[in-house]
Amino acid sequence: MDYFHYKGDEAYCEEVPLRSIYESYGSPTYVYSLATLKRHCERLFDAFSSYRTMLCFAVKANSSIAYLKEVFSSGYGADVVSVGELERSLKAGIDPKKIVFSGVGKRAEEMTRAMKLGIYSFNVESAFELDLLAEISSSLNCSVNICLRVNPDIDAKTNPKITTGLDATKFGMRLAQIEPLLPIIRDHKQLNLVGVACHIGSQMIDMEPLKNAASFMVRMAGDLVQSGFPIKLINMGGGLGIKYRDEVPPSLDEYANVLLNAIRPTGLQLVIEPGRVVAGNTGVLLSSVIGVKSTESKNFIILDGSMTEFMRPAFYNSYHDIEPVKSDLSGNGTEIFDFVGPVCESSDVLGLDRSLHRPQAGDLFYIRGCGAYGASMASNYNSRVRPCEVMVDGSTIDVIKEREALEDLWRLERF
């Protein structure tokens, strides 16, 4: 459920016509709906309200500071994977005690900064990370909470590029790799092993793998408790899928039940790191047509938005609805078009084989489902400036990130 809708034949975000955003701020522009974001934050909270659960937003999904402010003010903590995400979260007003630090290769200076802030926990993903954490915590004389990130070798049944819980992926550690670390942890007085963590993949629709992963984690936590470690939490990562096209994801309650049925009997705290389910449908990418052209086999609509603003279709072959801002572009007499951007790559696609009336230069479209892994994955490839981002709240529009200027492209260069 979101607040992007039509009034008559004009597309709106809440009370604001998308056309007026284009007129004030140009395109391509990310448009977020605050009402949608608040609703998603609340609904997910509610689904877990019957049990001690800490919800840490996966900052990688949308890391714009004004956006994060809204998420954190709804009571969420943060799952960060770099010092950049950590500092952004602090700027957005997070309490460091609500930060979990994941990531497969944390650098010493990142660990040091997080440790000095007293974050909630580090998800340790390898033996070398444990060594480094031990060394830094000793030299700072600072005790630190750690969770061991496990790779349970469970197939999340999602796109291979966002599968993270298989033995062939770089994430976490297998049990055999963890066992020899336990004596080291036990002997190190600054390292507190407080939990176990996993994240088996993203955009999961089938809950069976998550259920299996939860059972695995419960067994592992139980074994650690038996061995005398004061385990107090199980972190199940993020990963709940959303509907982009014809997926039928579980309801939030069904998702919560899968996790809570497994975790509740342990009495341990549950931590989750949701990203997409919170942010995905809170945003669209508004884009205008530069021109339309045809080859013998294809018709192309060339938008001013591209893979540099929104990488998902190019990178994951992902499907996103693309809607006209003025809806009378669809109807009888349609043709089949590919929506593409101006970037010099054949992979620069935004939508393939879409049926619509032939548009004209200047017509506006908006791409749905861009609130997660949209702006946060934007790049400057082809020396394109990164887009403007606006947050709509009822009938007001706040620019939360200005469009980059050309000068920003070479601001750090020396020549």
Q: How far is the CB of 103 from ligand LLP (least distance, A)?
A: 8
Q: How far is the CB of 199 from ligand LLP (least distance, A)?
A: 4
- Catalytic-residue membership of 344: yes
d(CA 372, CA 60): 8
Q: What is the largest CA-CA distance in the chain?
A: 74
Q: How far is the CB of 104 from ligand LLP (least distance, A)?
A: 9
* Structural contact between residues 150 and 172, judged by C-beta atoms closer than 8 angstroms: yes
Catalytic pick from 13, 142, 344, 388? 344
SS3 label, residue 259: helix
Q: How far is the CB of 406 from ligand LLP (least distance, A)?
A: 28
Positions touching ligand LLP (CB under 6 A) are 58, 61, 79, 102, 162, 164, 199, 202-203, 237-240, 273-277, 312, 316, 372-373
Q: How far is the CB of 56 from ligand LLP (least distance, A)?
A: 8
* Structural contact between residues 405 and 28, judged by C-beta atoms closer than 8 angstroms: no
Measured in whole angstroms, the distance separating CA 165 from the mean position of its chain's CA atoms is: 17
Per the listing, tokens 């620019």 go with: 399
Pick between residue 11 and residue 262 the one whose CB is nearest to ligand LLP.
262
Structure token pair of residue 159: 């796109």
Per the listing, tokens 């972190």 go with: 235
Q: How far is the CB of 333 from ligand LLP (least distance, A)?
A: 35
Pick between residue 88 and residue 276 the one whose CB is nearest to ligand LLP.
276
Pick between residue 34 and residue 242 the one whose CB is nearest to ligand LLP.
242
Per the listing, tokens 């619509």 go with: 356
d(CA 162, CA 169): 10
Pick between residue 300 and residue 316 the one whose CB is nearest to ligand LLP.
316
Pick between residue 268 and residue 311 the one whose CB is nearest to ligand LLP.
311
Q: How far is the CB of 273 from ligand LLP (least distance, A)?
A: 4
Pick between residue 116 and residue 170 the one whose CB is nearest to ligand LLP.
170
Number of CB atoms found within 10 A of residue 153's CB: 16
What is each CA distance from 165 to 153, 168, 213, 235, 263, in whole angstroms? Answer: 5, 8, 9, 14, 19
Pick between residue 11 and residue 197 the one whose CB is nearest to ligand LLP.
197
d(CA 39, CA 72): 14
* Structural contact between residues 118 and 137, judged by C-beta atoms closer than 8 angstroms: no
What contacts 24+ positions apart, CB below 8 Å, involve 83-89? 83/107, 83/109, 83/110, 83/113, 83/114, 85/59, 85/60, 86/110, 86/113, 86/114, 86/117, 86/119, 88/59, 88/63, 89/59
Dihedral, CA of residue 201, residue 233, residue 63 and residue 66, to nearest 10: 140
Write out the catalytic residue numbers. Answer: 344
